[in-house]
Amino acid sequence: ISAFTIGHIRADSPDINPENPGCCTKYIIEKFRERCHILANLGNSQIVMGYDFWKDEIEAIDILQLHIEEMKVLFASNNKELKLTEIIDILIEKKISAIVTLDEFGAVCTFEDAGDRIIIAPPFELGNIVDPTGAGDAFAAGLIATLAQSPTISFSNLYSAVDDARFWAAKACLSLGGSSTCPQRSELDEFKAQLQKREDNSLEFKKKSEADKYLRIIEKAYSKKKQVK
């Protein structure tokens, strides 16, 4: 095994296992932390226990990938609703390599050794979206599949992995359901080549302070989307 992803584990929930919550995830991370790359794409059963509960495990893994709403739950403090900019500040301060997914607004990434610089992964203009279900899982799959090709994770590795992952996520939006189609790598590469010809949507790498305006706009757009729902 060169890399793997940890997702939602219902048995970790304090409602299911009040005497030893989080035991499955903690065991897995401890077992493999020195042996392979670990991407944590945790679910509600895990994140409800908060950052302090998972602090040691988050330090041990390579990448933390969560949706913005999940990040808000993980880092919740005094019932305060965190903004996207505040979440990024926390990730930078704690030197956590992380990816915050933002639905159709793309994703924002931090890297432990990148200081206050972040990767902004803008969304693609897909006119034929069928169903976004499974896009987050496809993103995680593309990310870990690319990272698994290298024995270490550098900023350069992460940058390339994020670039690949967003094409995988976009591809997942073109089919119904979360797992109805599982394209071969050759299909994904062809899809990536076609999309690259259509528009300039390359990743951006900049200081967080320089990206604040962009992050605030994304936050407002996302909040309005939630209100509509």
pLDDT in tens, 35-67: 999 999 999 999 999 999 999 999 999 999 999
Asked whether 203 and 156 are in contact (CB, 8 A), the reply is no
Residue-level pLDDT at 185:
81
Helix H or strand E segment including 72: helix 68-74
Whether residue 155 has pLDDT greater than 60: yes
Whether residue 129 has pLDDT greater than 90: no
| Least confident residue range of 64-68, 78-82, 207-211, 215-219 | 78-82
CA nearest 76: which of 67, 66, 87?
Answer: 87
Q: Is the pTM of this model over 0.85?
A: yes
Neighbours of 133 (CB within 10 A): 16
Nearest-angstrom CA–CA distance, 32 and 222: 36
Q: How far apart are the first and last CA of the chain?
A: 41
Whether residue 124 has pLDDT greater than 70: yes
